[in-house]
Chains A and B, each alone.
Chain A
Amino acid sequence: MSEPLTEVAVPASASEAEQPAQAQRLRRRSRLETWLFLLPAALFQLVWGWYPLLMAFLISFTDAQPMLPSHFTGLASYLRVWNDPLVGQAFRVTFFYGSMLVALTFIFPLLIAIFLMELPPRLMRWMMILWFLPISVIANSILWRYLYNEQYGLLEYIATEILHLPHQPFLNDPHQVLFWLVFPAVVVAGPGVAGLAYMAALQGIPRSYFEAAEIEGAGFWRKIWTVSLPRLRPVIAVMLVYGIIQGLQDYTWPQILTGGQPEGASRTVMLYLFSYIQNQRYADATALSIYLFLVIFAIVVLFRTFFKEDPDA
């Protein structure tokens, strides 16, 4: 904006003529630098992000033989996967597992975050360290395998010796296995990354909002409902989408605890996909993964249309 002004005000001189050239050189150098900043990450994103994504669609239309050259087979693998009765079961299991996981555990990080913010700073610090103490998923799943043991596990002891119930099958009952898979996440719920995001967002709410609500006579729950939750709305939306996506893709937990047993009642799509890969049915595995992708995509789109961003947040 100031350029024409200076041009008029100051007559051209030798140093003035030099300046644009120097500026141009600087700009060119900085453009080169920008590229150097971007290049490594761009290469990795291209080779390990976009390229496999494109190839996934290509491979799903071929027979992807491990030993013979592949042939284009159109939708054959999609049809094969569609007609596989175990795929239907796997999707049912995945839906049940994912929705139960989200329904039973989603609220905890939110509540913990809101409550933690009420504590005096010192107490809050210590509580946070304990609450956010991480545990390895592998270690935790091995521990729960022990606790669920039908001969000598802690839960069996609680059920038979303390509650005087008959022998409980826990993970061995096809009708209960999904619930018992989710159960540990409910009992020992921690706030996790979602809790951190909520706390950060809560810190960003101006104090005056709560003061205003207080003057209007709002109590404890009323303030949560009318101030905290609406302000957290965007973060909650993101965490919910993430929770659903993660729940539908869970692999480690069911694999270590049950391995899909009994009778495939806990075999999620990811577990079934893995067995496809082990049987070298690569094209079918890719087709199955694209079905899963479409389901997740549909959920995200549905979510976006129904859960509009708050206009005044």
Chain B
Amino acid sequence: MSMLFPKVGRKQPLLRLGWWLMVILLSLGVLTHLVPFYIMIVTSITPAQDTLSTTPVLWPLHPTLAAWKLVIQWAQNSGSGALLAGSAGEPFWVYFWNSFFMTSVTLLISLPVTSMAAYATSKLLRGRRARWTFLFFIGTLMIPLAVLLIPMLFLTLNFPFALPGASIPNLPGTDQPFPTLSLYDTPWAIIVPGIFNAYNYLIFKGYFDTIPDSVLQAARVDGGSEFNIFRRIVFPMSVPVYSVVAWIQFYAVWDSFLWPQLVIQSNDKAPTALAIYTVMNNFINSGVMDRATALSQSAAMRSALAAGLSWNGLMVLALLQTFPIFIMFILCREYLLRGVRIQGLK
């Protein structure tokens, strides 16, 4: 795909040097890009005391799986794992399951809902109606999340009212307050607001716009209902765009932090992102991150360090938070890297 280097005369020493220079630059860049992963892995298999040493451990001299074991034990909520669990409250698989549940349910509802709306705007509506529907769906695209934060918080508390609890109107004719539904502190508080996303809609619409009408016309002549056409003809053609949107959505929901922090209160409902943040703060407050306190000879500190309670434990958690994103990336990489043209963004 080479475009910048001339096709003729590539063998010239100067050009060859330039080409190699570019490749070396790219490779060095990739290496620095991968450094965080490397440090995370090395730290996670380093003994707790060594992670606090003033000489950073860049090569695992005394590799140990203590921290990994600890997190697995934490998962079973027994032994010294209870120590870690004490700092977050629940066995780790609870948080992992919470994250997984939220993310997968969001994806399962969001992809069909968003893509069907995009398809209808792109192929079933014409003229002014199509334009207004399009504006209705993408109108919130440039609105910062900050503006919607508080009304959405009230909405999860007192659905269907985006108002504080005391301001909910009474049922007409009575002095009973209007019945409301609370999504607050349930996984649905994260799932439901994430279902429709204007950005994903735009990606779908851009892709469906490139499907020629003649393909659909042929199916219509054969007497297929619109839904069948969508399911049997459009969907198989659109697997790439589905995988791209699934990837974007997965990353966003799995790694979301601000919104869960607002709407999730109880410890056993928290996603991993929140749990890791809590563990980190507890570690810092307990003093295992402070060199002087941690290396003092107090018995509690010694047992904590022996169990792997320091940066190595945190790095295990950080890696666990990253793995699902990795897996999703590997699953979607074919289509992601082939590069769907994100149209309609102009």
- Where the two chains meet, the residues of A that have a C-beta atom closer than 8 Å to any C-beta of B are 29-30, 33-34, 36-38, 40-42, 44-45, 47-53, 55-56, 59, 62, 64-70, 112, 114-121, 123-125, 127-140, 142-143, 145-147, 149, 151-154, 156-157, 161, 187-190, 193, 196-197, 199-205, 207, 210, 214, 220, 223-224, 228, 234-235, 238, 245, 248-249, 251-252, 255-256, 269-270, 273-274, 277, 282, 285-286, 288-290, 292-293, 296-297, 300, 309
Q: Do A292 and B166 touch (CB < 8 A)?
A: no
Query: Which residues of chain A have C-beta atoms less than 8 A from B22's C-beta?
Result: 115, 118
Q: Do A37 and B117 touch (CB < 8 A)?
A: yes
Query: Which residues of chain B have C-beta atoms less than 8 A from A199's C-beta?
Result: 339
A68–B289 CA distance with the chains assembled, in angstroms: 44
A309–B342 CA distance with the chains assembled, in angstroms: 17
Q: How far is the CB of B130 from chain A (nearest CB, A)?
A: 10
Can you report 23 residue pairs joining A to B where beta carbons are below 8 Å apart? A41-B116, A41-B201, A44-B192, A44-B195, A48-B155, A70-B166, A119-B1, A130-B30, A133-B326, A136-B255, A136-B325, A138-B277, A149-B289, A152-B54, A196-B336, A203-B339, A223-B4, A234-B345, A256-B277, A256-B280, A285-B150, A292-B146, A292-B147
Tally A-B pairs: CB < 8 A: 324
Query: Which residues of chain A have C-beta atoms less than 8 A from B145's C-beta?
Result: 249
Query: Which residues of chain A have C-beta atoms less than 8 A from B6's C-beta?
Result: 214
A143–B316 CA distance with the chains assembled, in angstroms: 11
- The stretch among B37-45, B62-70, B81-89 that forms the contact with chain A is B37-45
Interface residues on B, range: 35 or more
Q: Do B337 and A48 touch (CB < 8 A)?
A: no
Known contacts: A207-B3, A251-B258. The answer to whether A143 contacts B39 by CB under 8 A is: yes
Q: Do A210 and B198 touch (CB < 8 A)?
A: no
For B55, B145, B195, B196, which residue has the most chain A Cβ atoms within 10 angstroms? B196
Q: Is the CB of B193 closer than 8 A to any CB of chain A?
A: yes
A274–B341 CA distance with the chains assembled, in angstroms: 36
Q: How far is the CB of A169 from chain B (nearest CB, A)?
A: 16
Q: Do B150 and A151 touch (CB < 8 A)?
A: no
- Complex partner residue of A290 from B4, B29, B147, CB under 8 angstroms: B147
Q: Do A138 and B192 touch (CB < 8 A)?
A: no
Residue of B nearest to A124 (CB): B1
Q: How far is the CB of A79 from chain B (nearest CB, A)?
A: 18
- Complex partner residue of A277 from B3, B153, B227, B317, CB under 8 angstroms: B153
Q: Do A59 and B258 touch (CB < 8 A)?
A: no
Other A-B pairs, 14, CB within 8 Å; known A69-B167, A135-B37, A139-B276: A34-B124, A41-B137, A45-B137, A48-B196, A53-B143, A142-B276, A142-B318, A153-B56, A154-B56, A188-B33, A189-B29, A200-B342, A214-B6, A277-B262
Q: How far is the CB of A154 from chain B (nearest CB, A)?
A: 4
- Complex partner residue of B329 from A51, A114, A134, A228, CB under 8 angstroms: A134
Q: Do A70 and B39 touch (CB < 8 A)?
A: no
Residue of A nearest to B157 (CB): A66
A122–B268 CA distance with the chains assembled, in angstroms: 46
Residue of A nearest to B276 (CB): A138
A187–B39 CA distance with the chains assembled, in angstroms: 14
Q: How far is the CB of A119 from chain B (nearest CB, A)?
A: 7
Q: Is the CB of B18 closer than 8 A to any CB of chain A?
A: yes
Q: Do B257 and A70 touch (CB < 8 A)?
A: no
Q: Do A137 and B116 touch (CB < 8 A)?
A: no
Query: Which residues of chain A have C-beta atoms less than 8 A from B329's C-beta?
Result: 132-134
- Complex partner residue of B152 from A40, A52, A153, A270, CB under 8 angstroms: A52
Q: How far is the CB of A192 from chain B (nearest CB, A)?
A: 10
Q: Is the CB of B154 closer than 8 A to any CB of chain A?
A: yes
Query: Which residues of chain A have C-beta atoms less than 8 A from B23's C-beta?
Result: 119, 123
- Complex partner residue of B144 from A37, A220, A289, CB under 8 angstroms: A289
Q: Do A55 and B124 touch (CB < 8 A)?
A: no
Q: Do B146 and A273 touch (CB < 8 A)?
A: yes
A41–B226 CA distance with the chains assembled, in angstroms: 17
A52–B277 CA distance with the chains assembled, in angstroms: 28
Q: Do B148 and A53 touch (CB < 8 A)?
A: yes
Q: Is the CB of B25 closer than 8 A to any CB of chain A?
A: yes
- For the complex of A and B, the 9 pairs showing the least CB-CB separation, nearest first, are A41-B117, A139-B318, A52-B151, A37-B120, A44-B196, A200-B339, A55-B162, A55-B151, A289-B146
